[in-house]
């Protein structure tokens, strides 16, 4: 292989180039395929054999090689044609893929080329690059008549049979227009989890990842006895020749206006998601959206692998034109891959702070999501058994944003026969006691007692009781000496007891007791978080505390009552009820120690009840309560100043929810308030365009002053 590199690709030798083309085309064929895998096909059939990063790098290497040796270029090169198997339905206009850039420098170079071609700098629309399958949907007089896959870009396959499973692609538009909608169908995070539960329950193998899953979900819709819901997001609207009756895209109509039209017609678009879309006048504004989207990637609820930037005006698009495989008026800014293939080398069984036993995989080190990953979370023991995962398997490791890496599945086709069974523990790996296997998640029968040090360390963390002076060594001493048998025992410690411990003097003991005393006054949400209720975390604990208002009300809540809290469903609610019952003695000890058991302000449940009687009264209940008692959606951007300067982003979210609001990471039509330290950002510009109220950090601090004081 040559060491000469062009751009982000490496120039290959002739044979290496031909092999790379064959490998990429084979992998792309699997990805774009939409026919059902035969029942007698090998176990690995239908599974992409390349991860995104490897695929992208091979395409860059192919492009670099063709630039250095244009005479080597072959007709089926991925630089010349859209990958995928052709169907028998001709597209109205070619359905092309976008070219990619991988850095701010690449984007600047692309922008300069487009501006030179147009003779001016265009206005752009920037939106998430959805990680799914491209479809075209045709409507006649407002009725959906056909759905076609991308195929090879010229011809696709008719998959109209899957319409019942696709959310966001209505059978009838809000207006009787004749047009074609193009977009991406995908499995959201929630849909992916539900799909695998359905597949396992019906004796089918779990999908490796959402992208692989949506291809299987789509092609299996014709014959499957159960429905796997998928979601469609549109990114283009086209007239249908001769019969088109809707507004015709022309130089006076922008892409952003077409997206707004689709929303009015009832078709899902990225504009209504947490990511939103941005209309920008400059490249720096586009880069700001791209960077912000990357930061929010893990919390979107669906998979993206980058951002798309494209000219807004159709006149600019027509002037820019297209190559044989990609339009020149747009490009995809690819993020570092959040999924890679590697080898599972070992499974380690860990015991969490609530006694839950979790398998953790040690994998061959692989660079994914910006870091080198050596360990990844696995599914629960029952899932491992159902999926048949083995040591030595080729596995897909996923890491989106700052989320802990996890193993999504394995590539059965890559097995060599040398793989070995995973050894499942017969006793608790931590204490050697019995294991409760009655639930999907196994648990040591000693529960929290088994992992008491972890539970105490969690309880004293900043987002819980914030007892900084109780560090890991002190926790170990408190547990080993029997002074702390549960987290409530922290509040019964005396100076005499602390002075008997190693390396604890009077000053240190006084500091510990002072911080413990201060923790008693923390809001209920902090105490609920500190208890470590299974099925909850910081955000969920805040929602529960905010909704019920008191610990007494939370403990009295039934599963049905808990389902009224945003984010709690029928599976999670009974677990929380069971956990609260188990923790009742600990909660009682906390009450007796004088720990606060209320959340400041009017509870969400009371606000909703009052709102039913009087919307005017409801609007004045809390500073961030909107009309009808509903929480106002608040977005925070930029560095906070003044009274908010020392608050972490989690503490800002806590403040917003305590004052009756709901925190969000992106600006949309549903946003009620933007808190911004300065103007000029994409969120600020979008909020201005939508007429959303914008406040400085100081103005917002004044609005929520009564609730901010609780953090002092």
8 Å CB contact between 379 and 34: no
What token pair was written down for 570? 């029928």
Instruction: Reply yes or no on whether 129 is catalytic.
Output: yes
What token pair was written down for 419? 């793989």
Residues 6+ apart with CB under 8 A from 355: 443, 444, 445, 446, 447, 448, 449, 450, 451
Rounded to the nearest 5 degrees, what angle is found at the Cα of 242, between the Cα atoms of 237 and 244?
40
3-state secondary structure 436-497: ECCCCCCEECCHHHCCHHHHHHHHCCCCCCCCCCCCHHHHHHHHHCCCCCCHHHHHHCCHHH
What is the chain's alpha carbon radius of gyration, rounded to the nearest angstrom? 28
What token pair was written down for 377? 């979370």
Distance of CA 508 to the CA centre of its chain: 42
Task: Give which of 300, 289, 294 is closest to 684, Cα–Cα.
Answer: 289
Kindly give the interhelix angle for 649-658 and 538-548, rounded to the nearest 10 degrees. Answer: 20
- Please list, residue by residue across 560-578, b when 16 or more beta carbons sit within 10 angstroms of its beta carbon and e when fewer do: ebbbebeebeeebbebbbe
Give the whole-angstrom CA distance, residue 43 versus residue 471.
50
CA distances from 625 to 49, 50, 246 (A): 50, 49, 41
Task: Give which of 177, 179, 133, 141 is closest to 159, Cα–Cα.
Answer: 133
How many residues are recorded in the chain?
Answer: 712
What token pair was written down for 17? 């180039």
The active-site residue, picked from 129, 310, 572, 683, is: 129
Long-range contacts of 432-439 (CB under 8 A, 24+ apart): 435/357, 437/381
Strand duo 394-398 + 406-410: pairing: antiparallel
CA distances from 456 to 67, 254, 397, 430 (A): 60, 57, 31, 16
Distance of CA 230 to the CA centre of its chain: 16
Residues 6+ apart with CB under 8 A from 630: 611
Give the whole-angstrom CA distance, residue 125 versus residue 313.
9
Helix (H) or strand (E) holding 166: strand 166-167
Q: What is the three-class DSSP state of 431?
A: coil
CA distances from 108 to 104, 105, 464, 712 (A): 6, 5, 45, 46
8 Å CB contact between 442 and 359: no
Give the whole-angstrom CA distance, residue 464 versus residue 41.
52
Catalytic positions, written as ranges? 129
């Amino acid at each position: 292989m040559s060491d000469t590199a062009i751009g982000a690709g490496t120039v290959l030798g002739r044979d290496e180039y031909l092999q790379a083309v064959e490998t990429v085309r084979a992998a792309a064929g699997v990805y774009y395929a939409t026919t059902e895998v035969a029942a007698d096909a090998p176990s690995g059939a239908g599974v992409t054999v390349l991860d995104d990063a490897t695929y992208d790098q091979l395409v860059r290497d192919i492009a670099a090689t063709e630039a250095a040796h244009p005479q080597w270029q072959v007709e089926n090169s991925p630089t010349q044609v859209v990958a995928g198997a052709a169907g028998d339905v001709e597209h109205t206009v070619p359905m092309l893929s976008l070219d990619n850039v991988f850095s701010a420098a690449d984007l600047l170079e692309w922008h300069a080329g487009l501006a030179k071609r147009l003779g001016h700098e265009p206005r752009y629309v920037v939106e998430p690059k959805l990680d799914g399958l491209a479809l075209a949907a045709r409507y006649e007089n407002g009725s959906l008549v056909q759905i076609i896959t991308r195929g090879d870009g010229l011809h696709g396959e008719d998959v109209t049979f899957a319409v019942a499973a696709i959310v966001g692609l209505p059978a009838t538009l809000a207006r009787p227009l004749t047009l074609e909608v193009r977009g991406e169908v995908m499995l959201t995070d929630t849909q992916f989890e539900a799909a695998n539960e359905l597949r396992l329950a019906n004796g089918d193998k779990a999908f490796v990842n959402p992208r692989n899953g949506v291809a299987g979900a789509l092609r299996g819709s014709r014959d499957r006895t159960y429905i796997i819901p998928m979601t469609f997001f549109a990114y283009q609207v086209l007239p249908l020749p001769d019969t088109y009756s809707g507004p015709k895209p022309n130089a006076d109509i922008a892409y952003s206006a077409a997206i707004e039209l689709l929303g009015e017609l009832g078709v899902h678009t990225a504009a209504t998601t947490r990511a939103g879309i941005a209309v920008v006048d400059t490249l720096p504004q586009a880069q700001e959206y791209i960077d912000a989207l990357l930061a929010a990637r893990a919390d979107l609820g669906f998979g993206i692998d980058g951002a798309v930037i494209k000219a807004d005006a159709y006149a600019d698009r027509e002037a820019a034109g297209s190559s044989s495989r990609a339009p020149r008026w747009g490009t995809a800014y690819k993020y570092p891959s959040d999924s890679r293939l590697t080898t599972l080398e070992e499974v380690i069984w860990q015991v969490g702070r609530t006694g839950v036993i979790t398998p953790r995989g040690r994998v061959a080190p692989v660079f994914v999501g910006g870091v080198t990953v050596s360990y990844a979370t696995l599914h629960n023991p029952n899932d491992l058994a159902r999926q048949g995962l083995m040591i030595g398997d080729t596995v897909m490791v996923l890491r989106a944003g700052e989320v802990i890496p996890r193993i999504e599945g394995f590539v059965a086709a890559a097995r060599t026969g040398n793989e070995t069974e995973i050894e499942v523990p017969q006793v608790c790996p931590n204490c050697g006691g019995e294991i409760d296997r009655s639930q999907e998640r196994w648990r040591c029968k000693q529960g929290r007692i088994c992992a008491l040090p972890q539970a105490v360390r969690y309880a004293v963390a900043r987002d819980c009781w914030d007892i900084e002076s109780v560090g890991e060594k002190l926790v170990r001493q408190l547990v080993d000496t029997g002074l702390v048998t549960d987290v409530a025992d922290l509040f019964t410690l005396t100076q005499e007891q602390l002075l008997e411990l190693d390396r604890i003097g009077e000053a240190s003991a006084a500091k510990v007791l002072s911080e413990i005393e201060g923790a008693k006054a923390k809001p209920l949400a902090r105490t609920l978080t500190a208890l470590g209720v299974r099925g909850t975390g910081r955000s969920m604990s805040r929602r529960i505390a905010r909704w019920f208002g008191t610990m007494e009300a939370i403990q009295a809540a039934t599963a049905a009552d808990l389902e009224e809290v945003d984010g709690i469903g029928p599976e999670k609610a009974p677990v929380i009820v069971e956990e609260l019952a188990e923790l009742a003695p600990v909660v009682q000890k906390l009450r007796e120690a004088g720990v606060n058991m209320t959340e400041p302000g009017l509870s969400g449940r009371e606000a909703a009840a009052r709102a039913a009687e009087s919307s005017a009264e409801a609007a004045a209940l809390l500073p961030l309560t909107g009309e009808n008692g509903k929480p106002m959606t608040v977005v925070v951007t930029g560095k906070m100043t003044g009274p908010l300067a020392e608050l972490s982003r989690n503490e800002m979210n806590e403040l917003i929810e305590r004052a009756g609001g709901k925190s969000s990471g992106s600006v949309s039509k549903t946003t009620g308030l933007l808190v911004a330290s300065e103007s000029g950002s994409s969120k600020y510009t979008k909020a201005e365009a939508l007429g959303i109220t914008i406040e400085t950090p100081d103005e917002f601090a004044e609005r929520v002053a009564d609730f901010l004081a609780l953090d002092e």
